[in-house]
Amino acid sequence: MSTRRSFPNRVFITVAIVALMLLVMYLFVVLSRVLLVVFAGVLLAVALGSGADLLRQLTPLGRRSALALVILILVTLPVLLSSLVGPGLGRQVNELIVQLPEALETAQDRLAEQAWIQRLVVDTREARDFLPPLERVMGGVTSAFSQTLGVLANVLVILFIGIYGAAAPKTYINGVLHLTPARHQERAREVLDTIAHALRWWLIGRLTMMSIVGVLTTIGLWIVGVPSPLALGLLAALLSFIPYLGPILSFFPAALAALLVSLTKVLYVALVFGVVQTLESYVIDPLVQQKAVSLVPIVLITAQIAMGVLAGATGVLLAAPLVIVVIVLLQMLYVEDVLGNSVRILGQ
Taking 80 as the threshold, does the pLDDT of residue 136 lie above it?
A: no
State the pLDDT at residue 220: 92
Taking 70 as the threshold, does the pLDDT of residue 116 lie above it?
A: no
Per-residue pLDDT band at 240 (split at 50, 70, 90): confident
Taking 60 as the threshold, does the pLDDT of residue 123 lie above it?
A: no
Of 29-43, 127-141, 210-224, which gets the smallest average pLDDT?
Answer: 127-141
Tens digits of per-residue pLDDT, 206-226? 888 888 999 999 999 999 888
Running DSSP on this structure, what letter comes out for residue 6? P
User: Using an 8 Å Cβ cutoff, are 266 and 259 in contact?
Assistant: yes
More confident of the two residues 221 and 128: 221
More confident of the two residues 120 and 100: 100
User: Using an 8 Å Cβ cutoff, are 228 and 99 in contact?
Assistant: yes
State the pLDDT at residue 30: 66
Per-residue pLDDT band at 138 (split at 50, 70, 90): very low
Which residues, including other chains, have CB under 8 Å from residue 161's CB and lie 6 or more apart? 38, 40, 41, 42, 44, 45
User: Using an 8 Å Cβ cutoff, are 66 and 56 in contact?
Assistant: yes
Taking 70 as the threshold, does the pLDDT of residue 150 lie above it?
A: no
State the pLDDT at residue 117: 47
91: left (phi over 0), alpha (psi -120 to 50) or beta: alpha
Tens digits of per-residue pLDDT, 302-318? 888 888 887 778 888 88
Tell me if the pTM is above 0.75: no
More confident of the two residues 347 and 4: 347
State the pLDDT at residue 128: 44
State the pLDDT at residue 130: 46
Taking 90 as the threshold, does the pLDDT of residue 204 lie above it?
A: no
Tens digits of per-residue pLDDT, 154-177? 888 888 888 888 888 888 888 888
63 to 25, 26, 51, 71, 237: CA distances (angstroms): 35, 37, 10, 12, 30
Per-residue pLDDT band at 256 (split at 50, 70, 90): confident
More confident of the two residues 107 and 61: 61
Selection from 123, 154, 148 nearest residue 40 by Cα: 154
What is the average pLDDT value for the chain, to the nearest integer?
A: 77
DSSP codes of every residue in 102-160:
HHHHHHHHHHHTSHHHHHHHHHTGGGGGGSPPHHHHHHHHHTHHHHHHHHHHHHHHHHH
State the pLDDT at residue 145: 42
Per-residue pLDDT band at 5 (split at 50, 70, 90): low
Which helix (DSSP H) or strand (DSSP E) does residue 25 occupy?
Answer: helix 7-30
State the pLDDT at residue 217: 92
Selection from 231, 225, 193 nearest residue 46 by Cα: 193
